[in-house]
Chain A
């Protein structure tokens, strides 16, 4: 084990006030992730997967304990510092793709780079490369409404990877896709993980995603009940 993990959570607790009561969404979660991992959070609905991803992604803050991401303590980041961390180092992939409808494919990917102070040429090169990875270089002018769900998610992946972040957080990326498209997406992400050494963390209960994981962390009621290295099976014989 390396000394300085890419991501480290220490007794992470997240409590939501619900009416008069409190809901413990994360209960003393301590985990470490190294660069290049391809890991997944699994567990039943409401077990805290999304909550954990959000805190690691600096979109949310812990109630107790802390998460240290790339050396930054999430609990002590200002809104601006959190935004800066996301801007440079974290890419998100959402269940609902979250593409911006008025922009075309190229522009949707380019937005990710707009805040990084690159020249137009540099941006163009990176965007086209990202679109090559997801095999959509021929659809730059299309709008999200003109794409299939699988294509939309591939645009979203391109948008996440185009800035070559250290971490990509994917919350149920395949939930809105059919099997064929799900496998496509997963293959793409495995390739990117190998090629760029990007760390992928999924939150999922999709069996198809789980088949690709190299590490499987099981959450139950906000607690880590199992954390195991697994052998990825890939698409296998029975899709």
Chain B
């Protein structure tokens, strides 16, 4: 108790130097919490968009389906077993058939995935209802990135070519009825959506599907042979990982900031041990043990973090709240990151984040404050009182 009082008085007595350290350290507080909040918000947003647009409550995959191996698609389709058909009939799931194809927009050849989906499905937010349009050609929907890459616009016709189940080539014209704006790249880039029935018919894969998307919050999905259930946790794991790797560079920034703050405190500690040697000797003469004096100086250093937390709260809380409300417009370049984001990121700050950051900074500051004070353990009272450099 008394050590805390003495330490606080020493710290405040040091004036400007203390406040400089405190301000730098408080920046670390706010920036770490802010950046982590943005990343959390980003992740949440990416996951939410993915869940809405693609995963819903999870997916059953045909046992041969491997999204990372397009060549496997050839064998990754099959008739739905009864248990799964039952789900589709109860509108608790919607099947998707995927085959590989080629398109010739503006005369250039491009490979793509042709995905068949029920135009009336309500399981995912993909605007499949556009596929209900009556047209002589095959109605098709593509995403805005696909549109940009291929130059295809609503009303354009494009020739699609594919192999049917027997391996023979076939081709047909599709009419782009809608370009959907979506933030989710994995329902957009390199693919074209057409009605499921049509695709089944064209590929000669009646009643077949590659995967089955089940509704959100489904309770115990059935176990079926040849079809594997992929839970939501499994499906979003990749994206969470992707967000992490794509954004890990940004943490360098606050590591550097924290490092600077720690350097400043370390420097202050070393300097104050050096300058206050006589004071240390005087305290020893008054009967303070070395341990008490080490404690005093360590607390003094660690209190930088306490003051910084207070200062950070002072300007940080209004800033962070304002920020969480207005959001952060996403720079154009981040679209290439490969995960879905809205127009703006809204940071999410959890209590764990704030408490964790505070504890981390307090811990690191205490350690950095303690390290130089170990010198005191070897200091003789007479040398300290003389105040000379040893």
Contacts and interface: CB of A to CB of B under 8 A. Distances in A.
Contacts of B385: 59, 94, 98
Interface in B99-141: none
B14 interface: yes
B258 to A, nearest CB: 28
B286 interface: yes
A102 B285 contact: no
A176 interface: no
Interface string B347-389: 0000000000000000000000000000000001110010000
B282 A98 contact: yes
A11 interface: no
A102 B289 contact: no
A60 B288 contact: no
B287 A59 contact: no
Interface in B280-312: 281-290, 292
Given A94-B385, A98-B278, A102-B10, A59 B285 contact: yes
Contacts of B287: 83-88, 115
A103 interface: yes
Interface in B209-224: none
Nearest to A89: B287
Contacts of A59: 284-285, 381-382, 385
Contacts of A19: none
A4 to B, nearest CB: 23
Nearest to A107: B9
A57 B285 contact: yes
Interface string A24-53: 000000000000000000000000000000
A168 to B, nearest CB: 12
A54 interface: yes
Contacts of A87: 286-288
A60 B381 contact: yes
A54 B289 contact: no
A92 interface: yes
Nearest to A59: B381
Given A54-B382, A59-B284, A59-B285, A100 B279 contact: yes
B284 A83 contact: yes
B285 A80 contact: no
Contacts of A80: 289
Nearest to B13: A102
B13 A83 contact: no
Contacts of B381: 54, 59-60
A195 to B, nearest CB: 22
Contacts of A57: 285
A111 B14 contact: no
A114 B278 contact: no
Interface of A: 54, 57, 59-60, 79-80, 83-88, 92, 94, 96, 98, 100-103, 107, 111-112, 114-115, 159
12 contacts: A57-B285, A59-B381, A60-B381, A83-B287, A84-B287, A85-B287, A87-B287, A94-B282, A96-B278, A98-B285, A115-B288, A115-B292
Interface of B: 2, 6, 9-10, 12-14, 278-279, 281-290, 292, 380-382, 385
Given A59-B381, A87-B287, 8 more contacts: A59-B382, A59-B385, A79-B289, A86-B286, A88-B287, A92-B285, A102-B10, A114-B6
